[in-house]
Structure 1
Amino acid sequence: MSPTNMIDSEQSLLHESYLHLHRNPELSMQEHRTAEFIEGKLEELGIEHLRCGGTGVVGVLRNGDGPVVAFRADTDGLPIREDTGVDYASVATGTLADGTEVPVMHGCGHDTHVAAALTATAVMVRERDSWRGTIVWVFQPGEETAAGAAAMVADGLWDRAPKPELVLGQHVVPQVPSGAVGLASGSAMAMADSLRVTVFGTQSHGSQPQNAIDPVVLGAHMVVRLQTIVARELSPQEPAVVTCGTFHAGLKENIIPDRAEFTINVRTLTEDVRSRVLEAITRILNAEAAASRAPQPQIEEIYRFPLLHNDPQRTEQVAAALRAELGAEQVVALAPSMGSEDFGWLAESIGVPNVYWVFGGFPADRADPPVNHSPFFLPDMEPTLSTGVRAAVGALRAALG
């Protein structure tokens, strides 16, 4: 099949949707205006749709008997102040769960994902004489907090929409050049576990440490000791990451507080390594507390991301389709990433395979392109957006026959 060529109306849909979404990001699970925008575009294309998982939108494009394939695009922004300097930069704000007002931007490229998916929808509608089956377009909220895919599944996604035999998805990144795509077969993205740890001590005046159990010192020992799990308890052939990303304690420099709180993020590629790392975290935290004569700490799960496993057979089929669409030199094989995605819940919940790939956002000759979640993250509009559309259409064509 010949490569995808978008007509003028599709190019307009692509660029106008991207600019609108970039200017109007919303926080995870608060994507109300974004959902309304997506619904409006689906209606213009004559696509039946439904709400699912709060701010999730599902579009169903039926085209006779044939395979059922789902395609997912995530919709949420991040609490980051955009610093790109473009005239369409976001100045939006949002409110976190604790009531804090924060700036919001599409610092992970989800605006490109939605714009590409909407335009791919238009292409598949125009080309419906060349394929048969059903496409389920999953516009998923809350990827950044691992809440969205689970919320859609819990809200009966696969009871309310046709159940697919394959789930596809993609993400823009700086790691491959614009115009190119990359994908990994098998374990593609890591599991992630985020934990909140509350360390308990005994408050005292800063001049009387003998009357205190200092949770700041105790917590500091915990944070340092946790770094020995990967360095000294795992084989170098067993990838894992243990990060302590926040630490909060006290209100004044001369008061030893009664508690401290820090957060941990764990990335692993196998269930065995995951269970050993989590066991080691609990063991170390409890042992350090005992060493300081402190109560056992409180350990709470914040959220969890699943392993993203690309079915090898389906991955090769998609890779072949992407090579045909973009050119063999524009499709690269990737090693597993320690980044995480909740995309895997969609297929795992019904026991079907998935394939997930990345597409580039910056030219190969650009030195040090900004990474996802940076205030400077701004993929070049082209060929990034068109590559996202072409990759989606190419993979869908191959899956639908």
Structure 2
Amino acid sequence: MKKLACALTVSYLSVSAALAANYLDQPVEDNLPSLVGIYKQIHQFPELSHQEVKTSAIVAGEMRKAGFKVTERVGKFPDGSQAYGVVGILENGPGPRLLIRGDMDALPIIEETGVPYASQVRTKNAAGQEIGVMHACGHDIHTTTLIGTARLMAATKKQWKGTLILVGQPAEETADGAKALMADNFYERFGKPDFAIALHDTPGRAAGQVAVTSGPTTAGVTSIDVVMRGIGAHGAEPQNAKDPVVMAGEFIVQLQTIVSREQDPRDPAVVTVGSIHGGAKRNVIPYEVKMELTTRSFSDKANQIIIDGVKRIARGVAISAGVPEDRMPIVTVVEKETLPSMHNNPALNARVKTALTGALGAANVFEDDAVMNSEDFGLFGLPGRQIPTVMFGLGIADPAELAAARAGGKPIPGAHTSHFKPIPEPSLRAGVKAMTSVATALLQ
């Protein structure tokens, strides 16, 4: 009898999701032209983490137009500065509380896509170097989808009951945006949701498709700074030096043995040296070389193995080079750029998948494996995963280009590259319909 009841429930939910999806078709199409316009505006004028002034204003304005109660400048960073978080709340009678997040920040990359609305924004980094600014991770798609979802949920209030909490999140790329929101008494101010959902674009799927993952979804990331200190000298007199450039090279090579020889191969992990700086002139041996690392893993055990290995190898290289004790390397774990792994709650993931299937059809819903990329959305679930969370993938690739790439042709540019290029209209159509259908299914 229980099996029959479960089967009937799943069947009912599938039919309900399909009906809701059909009901959304026309509203999605009606809103699509203006949403594409908003997307292109956000894409053309991107803003880096901690600087999302205009983007947050767009989100806040659109939420207010849709009838949400809006609070701006939500979030507090460790230095005391206020973040540009936006929270919109729409109450619609008794029922569950659902949080939906869309992140708003861009990356320091010069855009080379060639699209008419490409970013021409330039700024300077902390070192005074001129850099580009580009939405190379699809946060413009996420933000615009959030706006579209706000519009449709407000317009279809007869289809759902409960409270909807929409969050325009700053500073995801610097891994401190969600932390800033939580540090600003987020749930005390806006209420704790029963569940939280988000989407993230993926160039590995065609526009119109979505992907779900149950359990571990994205890896945890630990950022580590390593300063290899030595003794400087003239380049013609290396015997008077303890060369930190050579030591940095040895350190980087030995670093590869942590994952290959210390970590259990059944528990994936990655160590990457993404930045190395040292010296100012070709014939001068510098006093130090600074390296910036990121490590990624799904387990606390793997993460600790990596941290311990980095410290041990750095010290070992310095000792072998004869560096005195007072010049040993400095290894620092950068807590503000460190995140735990993210897990999709299996029960909630099953409900999300049912809603997505009803919205887009079973042929467009896929099961994907976990990825080594990292995300701060999991922090909305609180320590111990008190609040069920799910993030699903939204395809943004041109179907023909993706098919050609899979057949051995030109690869699809990935995220965090200068050629990253979502197709706006079909991506937003699917994104808004998918997210609204999921929200409607959960708010029953």
TM-score bracket, normalised by the shorter chain, equals: over 0.9
Give the letter aligned to residue 37 of structure 2.
E
Instruction: State the aligned residue count.
Output: 401
- The alpha-carbon deviation at position 146 of structure 1 amounts to 0.2
Q: Given that residues 32 and 428 in structure 2 are in contact (C-alpha distance below 8 angstroms), is that contact kept between their aligned partners in structure 1?
A: no
Q: Given that residues 26 and 94 in structure 1 are in contact (C-alpha distance below 8 angstroms), is that contact kept between their aligned partners in structure 2?
A: no
Partner of 2:7: none
Matched, 1:308 2:327: no
Q: Given that residues 49 and 60 in structure 1 are in contact (C-alpha distance below 8 angstroms), is that contact kept between their aligned partners in structure 2?
A: yes
Q: Given that residues 188 and 310 in structure 1 are in contact (C-alpha distance below 8 angstroms), is that contact kept between their aligned partners in structure 2?
A: yes
Matched, 1:292 2:326: no
Give the letter aligned to residue 361 of structure 2.
G
Distance 1:243 1:214 in 2: 22
Distance 1:96 1:139 in 2: 24
Aligned counterparts, 1:245-256, within 5 A:
245-256=274-285
Matched, 1:28 2:49: yes
Q: Given that residues 32 and 425 in structure 2 are in contact (C-alpha distance below 8 angstroms), is that contact kept between their aligned partners in structure 1?
A: no
Aligned counterparts, 1:188-207, within 5 A:
188-207=217-236
Q: How high is the sequence identity, in percent, across the aligned residues?
A: 36
Find the residue that maps to 1:171 and give its secondary structure.
strand
Partner of 2:390: 355
- Superposed CA RMSD: 1.3
Matched, 1:378 2:399: no
Give the letter aligned to residue 204 of structure 1.
A
Q: Given that residues 359 and 384 in structure 1 are in contact (C-alpha distance below 8 angstroms), is that contact kept between their aligned partners in structure 2?
A: yes
Gaps of 5+ in 1: none
Matched, 1:399 2:434: no
Matched, 1:213 2:242: yes
Matched, 1:12 2:46: no
- The alpha-carbon deviation at position 18 of structure 1 amounts to 0.6
Match of 2:208 among 179, 182, 185: 179
Q: Given that residues 250 and 317 in structure 2 are in contact (C-alpha distance below 8 angstroms), is that contact kept between their aligned partners in structure 1?
A: yes
Distance 1:213 1:296 in 2: 11
Match of 1:333 among 336, 351, 367: 367
Partner of 2:195: 166
> Which digits, 9 at most, give the CA deviation of each residue in 1:317-354, with x for residues without a partner?
11111111111111111111001001111112572110
- The alpha-carbon deviation at position 9 of structure 1 amounts to 4.4
Give the letter aligned to residue 58 of structure 2.
F
Partner of 1:105: 134
- The alpha-carbon deviation at position 99 of structure 1 amounts to 4.3
Gaps of 5+ in 2: 1-15, 76-82, 406-410
Partner of 1:38: 59
Distance 1:85 1:106 in 2: 14
Judge which range, 364-373 or 319-328, deviates more.
364-373
- The alpha-carbon deviation at position 133 of structure 1 amounts to 0.3
Q: Given that residues 6 and 123 in structure 1 are in contact (C-alpha distance below 8 angstroms), is that contact kept between their aligned partners in structure 2?
A: no
Distance 1:72 1:202 in 2: 49
- TM value normalised by structure 1: 0.97
Distance 1:382 1:119 in 2: 12
> Which digits, 9 at most, give the CA deviation of each residue in 1:359-389, with x for residues without a partner?
1111343121111111111111131111111
Partner of 1:59: 88
Find the residue that maps to 1:114 and give its secondary structure.
helix
Distance 2:110 2:157 in 1: 41
